[in-house]
Amino acid sequence: MLVVAPHPDDEVLGCGGTIIQHVANGDSVAVLIVTDGRRSRAHGLRTDEMAETRYKEAHAAATLMGVEEIVWLGLPEGDWKVDTLVAALAAHMRDSPPGVIYGPSWLDYHPEHRRVAQCLGETVAAQTPVRICTLHVPLGELTNLYVDVTGDLPRLRALFEAYWTQQNSLLRGLRLRRYSGALNRCGEIIEEFWELSGEEYRKAHRGSSGIPVVYGLRYLSLTDPLGYVIGRKARRAIAHRAYG
């Protein structure tokens, strides 16, 4: 499996528990981190300090998950070109064709998540399954794969602690996992995915976006219902693109 993470911590935010289970099942896992995360303003670190810190955090998290292959592209956050990433993704998939990919989508509010999804859409093979992760944005009715990670909660918390500069963001991801468990009654802590074929993913992300920017979970939990309500139009639009 290949996890495409726009920033260092998105692999944990989107599918940390699922990665743990893949490793436990003996699957080969590679985590490809696109940007260096330098633009985070957490803890008042300078940009170079933040990039170096998040590099160390990513490798610490990979060790905790048992991931042996971490591909650090290290593109400067907010200052990279689509062609550069497309070439890097194409080269990696040519050399190490993945059996399944976990990654972002246009169903997001973060511009870099959306740009990475565009690049992935240009490089994924038609027959390769892609599992879209929830990066603070509920997938709602698009979810067709649920992974119960309740038993992995202690290790998930340890992963959050490994990314100490991003803990506030990651804790919102834990809220989303709890909501999914409560809504779907299939476990206490659930990671949600929208699984598509590579061809469907390519169709969903072809051309200029046209998918409205959606609302994700914010720091105050009282606003969380908006994350589910605001975004219906976007979910319908991206589903129409994928399935025609």
* Spatial CA neighbour of 145 closest among 184, 118, 201: 184
Report strand pairing: 145-148 vs 130-133.
Answer: unpaired
For residue 55, the surrounding DSSP H or E stretch is helix 47-65
Residue 120: band (very low, low, confident or very high) from pLDDT cuts 50, 70, 90: very high
Label residues 151-181 b or e (16+ Cβ within 10 Å = b).
ebeebbeebbebbebbeebbebbbebbebbb
Under 8 Å between Cβ of 6 and 34: yes
* Spatial CA neighbour of 2 closest among 71, 53, 74: 71
Under 8 Å between Cβ of 89 and 173: no
CATH number belonging to the domain at 2-243, selected among 3.40.50.10320, 3.30.70.260, 3.40.109.10, 3.30.70.20: 3.40.50.10320
pLDDT at residue 208 above 80?
A: no
Query: Which DSSP symbol is given to 141?
Result: G
Q: Residue 91: what pLDDT?
A: 97
Residue 186: band (very low, low, confident or very high) from pLDDT cuts 50, 70, 90: confident
Q: Residue 106: what pLDDT?
A: 95
pLDDT at residue 209 above 90?
A: no
Question: Would you call 150 helix, strand, or coil by DSSP?
Answer: helix
How confident is the model over 42-58, as a mean pLDDT?
93
* Spatial CA neighbour of 101 closest among 201, 189, 227: 201
pLDDT at residue 1 above 90?
A: yes
Q: What is the edge-to-edge ordering of all strands in the sheet holding 30-35?
A: 69-75, 30-35, 2-5, 101-103, 130-133, 190-196, 145-148
What is the rounded CA–CA span in Å between residue 224 and residue 207? 31
Q: Residue 115: what pLDDT?
A: 96
Q: Which residues lie closer than 8 Å to 220 by C-beta, 6 or more apart?
A: none
Q: Structure tokens of 37?
A: 């995360």
Instruction: Report the mean per-residue pLDDT for the chain.
Output: 94
Would you list the domain boundaries of the chain?
2-243
- Please indicate whether residue 166 or residue 209 has the higher confidence score (pLDDT): 166
pLDDT digits (tens, 9 = 90+) for 124-144: 999 999 999 999 999 999 999
Task: Read off the pTM.
Answer: 0.96
Angle made by CA atoms 157, 29, 130, in degrees to the nearest 5: 95
